[in-house]
Structure formats: structure tokens, C-alpha cells
Chain A
Amino acid sequence: MKVEEIRVCVIRVGGTNCDAETKRAFDELGVKADINHLNEIVKKASLLDYNALVFPGGFSYGDYVRAGAILAKGTLTKLRHDLKMFVEEGRPILGICNGFQVLVEAGLLPAFEGISEYPEATLATNIPIGYNCRWTYLKHENSGRCLFTQKIPKGNVLRIPVAHAEGRFLFSKENEDRYLRKLYDNDQLVFRYCNKEGEYAEGEFPVNPNGAFHDIAGICDPTGTVFGLMPHPERAFYGWQLPDWTKTENMPTYGDGKLVFESMVEYLKSRF
């Protein structure tokens, strides 16, 4: 499929607020992305007109009950069939920040045995508590399963910012060890928080900005076509968004976040 034929659906509801910059990232790569209200997609039954689906950042429905929970159940209730088709056909689904919370609450991640009826993980209140907006380093852990990081060599360190109050990735205590092994066995681990040199945070703040288990910042499903992460790649897309671009004599044109979108487009081009 040609780049200009790709169509991406950026979904929004009340409280979504990173849709415009997410769309802009695709625009920059020559891909047509539409921002659609969930109601519109449901009304027109048009989800399957798209090749990829993105849940962007924000506070969907005010993050009431739990971050992402209401949008997750709403999407499942209204679009269950289309979503299943999406996953089965290998059309990519990306969740950023609140979008990651949605995918976890919807059982689309980690989805060890396919879409799960109840969440298998959670993104709990940050430790230390509170909203935190800062740049983080991420180590790429994936051996090739995750289509969203195809263009990033394993072990590379990326710099992408986070901004959230509920990003502490957790499994339930009784499943922790077993699930972590599964993440490794299935090549589902994608990003872990680390320092500039690539050493894992080992839970230490602020290198790990939220206390996430095993420094987990992003995971994919066993097929590698569903991916969620707390950091915002759309905020690290251009060079001028970087926190220390003024230091460089010549500003870089792009930041590390672009690689995520590029990988996605690359996959769509070759797969469909």
C-alpha cells in the first residue's frame, strides 16, 4: 500500500486532548489521519475503513472511575466486533498515555491469550504521588515482535517525555512473576525507563517517573500489532520540541518519537 493510501483513525471523546498533535505526526509523514469522535465512528460504522487506530493522550471522560476505564468499556461495548477484526487482521492499534490506559482497561494489552475480559494489568497512581511532566529515557527492549519499533535497534536509548498522574504499570501481586516471564517469552516488552547511558532505573525516581513495575514504560500484545506506552512520542517528534535543542549549534530536525510513527507507517506500507 502506498503512503498516501494509508488512513489512520485518531479517536477522541470528551476529555481527549492530544489528538491534534498526534494527527500532526502522521500528517508530517504524508499519511492521512482523521480525528473522529467515538460517536461518529459508531454512528457511521466506519472503523474498518481505517488501516490503523490510535487512542491519543488526555483525560477521556475525566478519567472518572479509573484512568481510561470508561472509554475502554465504551469502545468495547460499541465496537467489539470491529475491534476484534482489527486485531485479527493485524491492523495496528496504538495507545499513548491515556490511550495506553484505555488499551489495558479494555483487555487489549497485554492480552496474553487474546483480548481478555478483565484487565490483566493496571496503570496505578504514580509513586511519588502526583502529576508529573518530565523527559524520560527509554530503552528499547523488543526483539522484533513490536511493529511500532521496527526501525529502532534493540538496546537503543530514546528520549521521550511523560506527563501523567497514573502511569505506574502493575500486575497483580500473585501474577507478577508469571506475567513478567510471559512478557519476555512473547517478546511483548517494548520500553523500559532508563538513564541516559541506558542503565535501567530499577524503580528509582525520577529516572522511573512513576514507580512502574520492572521500569515498564510500554508493552505490545503477543502479535505485536497493539502497542501502548505512557511516554508521548508525538511530543518528541520535531527537534524543536526537545528539551535541550538550544544547546546544539544546529538544531536536529526530528526527535526520537518520530521513529514510532515511522515504524508504523513502514509496517502498513509493506503489510497491506
Chain B
Amino acid sequence: MSHYVKRDVPFELVEVNLQEADDKQLLQISRELGIALNLTEMKAVKNYFSRKKRNPTDVELQTIGQTWSEHCYHKTFKGNITTPEGEIKSLLKTYIAKATKELNPSWCVSVFEDNAGIIEFEENYTIAAKVETHNHPSAIEPFGGAATGTGGVIRDILGVWADPIACTDVLCFGPLDYDYSKLPPGTKHPKYVYRGVVAGIGHYGNNMGIPTVNGAIHFDESYVGNVVVYCGCIGILPKNKFVKDTKPGDIALLVGGETGRDGIHGVTFASAELTKESEEISRPAVQIANPIEEEKVKRAINKLRDEGLGSAITDIGGGGISCGTGEMADRSNCGIHVNLEKIPLKYQGLAPWEIYVSESQERMLLSVPEKNLQKTLEIFESENVKATPIGKFTDDGILRVDYLGQRVAELDIDFIFNPPKFKGTAEWNEPDLKEPTFPEPTDLTEEILQVISTPNIAGKESVIRTYDHEVKGNTVLKPLQSKYGGPNDAAVIKPLPDSWKGVVISCGMNPNYGKIDPYWMAASAIDEAIRNNIAVGGRRIALLDNFSWGNPQKPDRLGSLTRACQACYDFAKGFKTPFISGKDSLYNESPLGPVTPTLLITAIGIIPDIRKAVSMELKQPGNPIYLVGKTYPELGGSQYYQLKGFTGATVPKVRIEQAKETMNLITKAIDSGYIRSCHDLSDGGVAVASSEMAFSSGYGVELHLKKVPRTSEIRRNDFLLFSESNSRFLVEVPEKRREDFEALMNGSVCAEIGRVKKEGILSVYGLKEKNVVRADLTELRRRWKGVLGG
């Protein structure tokens, strides 16, 4: 017997017979409709309609499927998790948002609530920030997936009335030289994915005229089947122009692009594992990007905001209009009545459910008081942007959807925003890893050249130059520093013409450490994001979290996710850096296995005067170089071990008190003008940081490892050079400020370890004061730039 009864109406509308379906059939229905709901959820739906004494329509089931998807509702982060130590009710509330709540900083304006987190900036302005994941769409169609990822996160910023000022991108790919014959069917080669994703991100940001200023690229085998694409956007908005006050009677206004079949089931697809069939099934799930349309939408929305005509705004992203309308009604405790036939279509022949869940790009939803409607429509018309009233907000908490005079959906908003709790089991077993033993190499110069030319450390100039990082003319500190394009730790943007205050944007991520312990991976990512920000002069830092993990229904995946979340709480609290927004992408699994757990931390700081910002390249021969922070024997997960074929066990830890003190002192030293250049120590440790500082400037450097502040266990030159201990900086101090600097640092872990030299040579003296490294800067630069092209 079929569960689907076609209604006798002049369009496609199907009633789904849930009431007579048993458990097996419920799951079959979920699968057949592609809504990815599990049995508990399907039963909850069935119960709801039993109470209503009727069966749902396809429109209703699709709406529920979209709203309850992992992508839209973040079930896992809000679910109940059983661990050996007891039950966790909501990872989000227990860890990530808790740190923010307890810190309760006065400068956090809106956190975890809207499309983006909002923090204070200048007297009359706030900053909005958001980072999105767009992994699954990018795996299926790299160019389109990455482009629409950027488009989507920009709309998140527009979705809090802000004007985008900068974009970021952090990407993880399989090795570019991956053996073609090892690729499973349906999986694209990393090189193809890499080219497509990079081009897609550049296409959207460049066309919209938003500078892409910060990012990272990481390579690992686990990304062959699961590319990771993080797209971020930062915006600015006048403080008194933020409004979220939809009232019953307000008009629901759909603006931007037309609706087609593109992107149908994007979110349910994003919430499932990738298989061989994904490519064929999901082709329509991929959206087509039109940045020029979004640019026009942005102009109109800015105007509307300045004139105060709208009462609320949200972007239409995952789940399409079904999610956008529901969310807006839910947040304002209203109901909504939508007329689907009003929605402008790209072509005819769409069923009502398709119209309602389509994820066509460049669309936003506004609520507008009726008295402002005419003026609002005129603004959109002046920018050649379509704006269509598609419904009205009501006062009864019910979502009603009509199509050509027929009611096709009627759902209680309360019901659709209270899905059954996700239940999971978390288990984390420490991997059985040992510290490797191998003799100290005799030629450390060669080791440095090799480490610096591993794809994860090598220069990314060939990518960065394809992004316009200067448009808007506000980029003070650029991703590529100086003549030789050195990698700056963070970007600095000066968004206001009449203020010297700047926004500092940085990130931290090291999936390698997660192979040893996701807790310390998360701690290290937080430390790295913060120290990158501090290194250029940033402070008052807010954090954003982005998780890409495997299937959370498998206890080990959920176990490692939980550990990472615990660290997020501990260190956000410890550093007093609140999380303001986040996004997760789970179910990143392919026939090649799960993705390496990948936590991206984005840090948004401020700098009171951009003229004090510090770049990373050496400035003046003769100046002393100091290492601030202690070096431990922490090479587990390091680039050096990886090069030698090891993982190791000594993952870098974060000693919070020491770390905080170091960071505070660096900020003080920068403000006092004691620092000419500063670079954080991360992948590749002292060796890589000093090389980069030198070859970016053309000035050489002489270092003495004996002077490096360290624990007594380190007795090898290679370990001192390549240890990746956190919370460390290499700083160049003007000779004439040496005493001031030393006085400031008095009592902290800091030592002069070398000098800037005129001659273009990196020269390192070992623990026994013997010269152990002598590398020509031209050669270092050539090897660093040679991998991905310069």
C-alpha cells in the first residue's frame, strides 16, 4: 500500500499516511522524502498529527525535516550526551556558551542568537562576525559549493543589518599529489577540489568587493573524501540601527534572487554522510552563485537599514524559505501566513514543497511594517532587486502556508522548534601513541628547508593573490607582508574613515594535535588564534568556533567532540575571550573514513590605533631578537615529527596563567613601542618563525639555542628548533628600547636569543654553541614559495 495520497488539486500536493505507518515504514517515508529524520523524530511527528487527527502534507513533512536538520537546528550540540562521567545536557550550553555567560563581558551585544555574533567597536558602531562551514556542497561541486559558502556567510552578516568589511577562508584538502588510483568512485581528486574551491571563494568575494584578508590551508589524507571549507565574514553596523522587532501585521518580504530547484535538500544532505551516490543524488542540492545579485541586495539592505524601514531581517540559507519564515516567526513569538504562489520562480513546474524548501541563493527575508512597505519596495526597485511580499505575520503562533487558495501546511511554531532531543553516547579512549626515538639529524639546515617546504607550512601566495585583499581600501595589515610576501599573523582593517581604531582578524587550527588529544588540539587552536591576534596588536578578543567532525552517532566521534568542547570552555574562560558565534558540520564521513576532527577558532580583536600595528618581517639589522614564552619538549603532532613519519604523544599544552601573562606583556610592549616586529611560534616552531621573519625582510638572523627559555628535558637542537609549544612569540626590539623592554619583561619567561643581521643568512648556534644551521634566505624563500607556487 502506498503511503502517499495525491490530493485532488490542480498542482502536486501529497498527503502522507503516517497514521497507518509502522516504525519501519516511518523510516522508509523519511528516506523516500529525503528528510533524514530518525525514528524518534518520525514518531514525534506522527504523534503530533495524531493529536491533530489528520495526516501531514508533503509540505509539512519537508518543513519539519528542514527545521529539524542537523544543519538548521544543531541537534547534536543541543542534545543529551551520555558519557562515562555522567550526562551532558547540551554541549553548547554546558561548554561553549557557558564561558561567555560566565564572563558576561559588557562589550558583547548579541551572542549565539542571531545570524552572527555582535560585539562593540567604536562609540556608535558594532562589529558582527560569523564563520560558516560549507563542506558537503564543496565536495560535490567545489567551485559552486565554496562560492555559495562565501555568499551564505556574507548574507549572515547582512542578516544582522551589518555591512560586510572583510572575508576569511580556511580550507582543508587531501594531499595535492594524492594517487589517482586510490580515489574511491565518486570522489574528486584533491587538486580538482582545491582549484575549484579557491576559485569559488575568490569569485564571490572579489565580485562583491569584500576583501578576503585572512585564512589558512591545511592538507591531510583524511580530507580526500571530506573537503573542509570554512568561510567567514565580518561586518560593521551603526549601533542604533540594529532592529529585531517583528510585530503581528508586519509583511514578510522576500528579496533578491528567484527561486528554482537548486539547492533542494541541501541541509538534509549536509546532515548525512557522503557516499558514492552522493554525487548523483546531490547534484541538484548544489546552489548556483550570483555575487552581483547579492551586491545589489546588500546596497538595498544598507539603505533600508539607514532609513529604519524594516522590523527584522534574516538570510534565506539552509532549509530555504521554510526555515527563514519559521525562524523569524518563532523569534518574535508571532505566527506567519505565507502565500507560496507569490514567490517569484526561475521557471514553472515546482511543487509547493519544492518552492518552500529550495535553497536558491541570494535571497533574504525581511519583516516590514505595512506603513513602510511602499518606501521599502521603492528602495529595492532602485537597485534593480526583486522584492515580493509573500505573507504576513500573525499573532497566533501558527505557521500557515497556502498555495493557489489551498492550505498546504498548518503547523504550530512551538512544535517545529522543539524537536525531540538528540541522544548520543560519547566515549574517548586515549590513543596508544608513543614518543618516537630517532637520532638527531646531522644537517639541521636541510631539516629546516624540508619543514619549510611541507605543504602545510609552505607559502600560499598563489592562492592569496587571487583574492582581492585590498578592495574597500581599508586593509592596514595585509595577508602578505612586504616585498617578499611574508605571512602576517593577522589582518588589520580600518573600517571607519574618521577613527584610527582597527579590527584584528586571526585564526587558529591544528588538526594534527587532535590525532593525539582533541582537548589539547582545541586548547592549542584557541591559543594560536589569540596569539596571532596579539602578535599584531589586537586585544579584547572574541572567538568563533567551527567544528568539522565525523558521524556523532558513533561514540568515539562524539567522545572527541565532547573533549574539544570541554577545552573550549576551559580556555575561553581562562583567556577571558568569550565565544560569540559558531557553526558545526558533522557527518563528515566518506568511504575513506571520517574527517580528522577539525576545530577552527577565529579570533576578532580590536586595536585602538592602527598606526601601532606590528608586522612580522624583520626591520633593522642590529636589533636584538627575544623569545617570549617557554619551550617544552612538545613535538607530538608537530610538522617535524610528521615529516619524519611520526605522530608522537607529547601534544602541546596550554598553561593558562603563563600564557595569559605572556600575551598581556606583548600587548603592553607593542603599545609602548618596544616591538618592531613580532611573529607567533606555531607550525615548525622557532625554526619556521625565524626563517619567515628573515626571508620576508631580506635581513638575516643569528640565533643561539642555548639561550632559549626551556625546560631541562630538552637536550636536542632539533627539538628546540621544531617544538610547537604554545603561547610563544619571537620579537624584534629596537636596540634603543632594549632596556625598557627588558624592564617590562622582568620576571617573565623571556630571553634575548639573537640578532637581526644585515647579511641574508639564517644562522643558528646550537646548545654547544656550535653553528648548526646556515641557510641562505634566497634558498629558504625559494623552498617556501616553491610548493604551491609564488
Contact = CB atoms under 8 A, between A and B. Distances in A.
Direct contact of A and B (CB under 8 A): yes
Interface residues of B, number: 42
A238 B474 CA distance: 10
A169 interface: no
A74 interface: no
A235 B295 CA distance: 20
A255 to B, nearest CB: 10
Interface stretch (B252-260, B331-339, B462-470, B722-730): B462-470
A232 B291 CA distance: 22
Nearest to B789: A128
Interface stretch (A87-95, A108-116, A217-225, A244-252): A244-252
B295 A232 contact: no
Interface in B608-638: 610-611, 613-615, 617, 619
A234 B482 contact: no
Contacts of B494: 240
Q: What is the interface of chain A mostly: helix, strand, loop, or mixed? A: mixed
A232 B468 CA distance: 12
B552 to A, nearest CB: 38
B483 A244 contact: yes
Contacts of A132: 465-466
Given A163-B468, A240-B494, A37 B382 contact: yes
Contact of B207 (A27, A59, A240, A251): A59
Given A17-B209, A161-B470, A163-B470, A133 B465 contact: yes
A40 B378 CA distance: 13
B405 interface: no
B154 to A, nearest CB: 13
A21 B482 contact: no
A59 B483 contact: no
Interface string A106-149: 00000000000000000000000011111000000000000000
A131 B206 CA distance: 9
Contacts of B611: 240, 251
B610 A130 contact: no
Interface in B471-506: 471-478, 481-483, 494, 497
A14 interface: yes
A131 B765 CA distance: 43
A37 B299 CA distance: 11
B245 interface: no
A15 B471 CA distance: 13
Contact of A15 (B202, B207, B478): B207
Nearest to A134: B465
A185 B290 CA distance: 44
Nearest to A19: B209
A20 interface: yes
Contacts of A14: 292-293, 295-296, 383-384
A58 B472 CA distance: 10
Contact of A235 (B473, B613, B619): B473
A39 interface: yes
Q: Which of B469, B471, B472, B477 has the most CB of A within 10 A?
A: B471
B146 interface: no
A233 to B, nearest CB: 10
Contacts of A179: none
Contact of B292 (A15, A24, A133): A15
B574 to A, nearest CB: 31
Contacts of B466: 130-133
Interface string A231-272: 010110110110110110001000000000000000000000
A21 B473 contact: yes
Contacts of B329: none
Nearest to B494: A240
B208 interface: yes
Contacts of A40: 382
B610 A133 contact: no
Contacts of A21: 472-474
B468 A246 contact: no
B208 A131 contact: no
A243 B207 contact: no
B619 A232 contact: no
Contacts of A134: 465
A17 B295 contact: yes
A71 to B, nearest CB: 12
Given A14-B383, A18-B209, A131-B202, A163 B471 contact: yes
A24 B209 contact: no
B292 A240 contact: no
Contacts of A27: 497
A213 interface: no
B674 to A, nearest CB: 14
A61 interface: yes
A133 B466 CA distance: 6
A243 B677 CA distance: 15
Given A14-B292, A14-B383, A59-B206, A246 B614 contact: yes
Contacts of A243: 478, 481-483
A133 B470 contact: yes
Nearest to A238: B473
A62 interface: yes
Contacts of B292: 14-15, 59, 61-62
Contact of B471 (A18, A24, A244, A246): A18
B200 to A, nearest CB: 12
B296 A131 contact: no
Nearest to B384: A14
B347 to A, nearest CB: 20
Given A14-B296, A15-B292, A243-B482, A58 B209 contact: yes
Given A14-B295, A134-B465, A246 B473 contact: no
Most buried by B among A15, A17, A59: A17
B473 A241 contact: yes
Contacts of A244: 481-483
A75 B241 CA distance: 35
A247 B482 contact: yes
Given A18-B209, A131-B466, A238-B473, 5 more contacts: A18-B472, A24-B497, A59-B292, A62-B207, A235-B471
Top-10 shortest CB links A-B? A17-B209, A21-B473, A246-B615, A62-B292, A15-B292, A163-B468, A131-B466, A235-B473, A14-B296, A59-B207
30 contacts: A14-B295, A17-B295, A18-B473, A21-B472, A21-B473, A39-B382, A57-B471, A58-B209, A62-B207, A130-B466, A131-B206, A131-B467, A131-B468, A132-B465, A133-B464, A133-B468, A133-B469, A234-B473, A235-B471, A237-B473, A238-B473, A240-B494, A241-B473, A243-B483, A244-B483, A246-B477, A246-B613, A246-B615, A246-B677, A247-B482
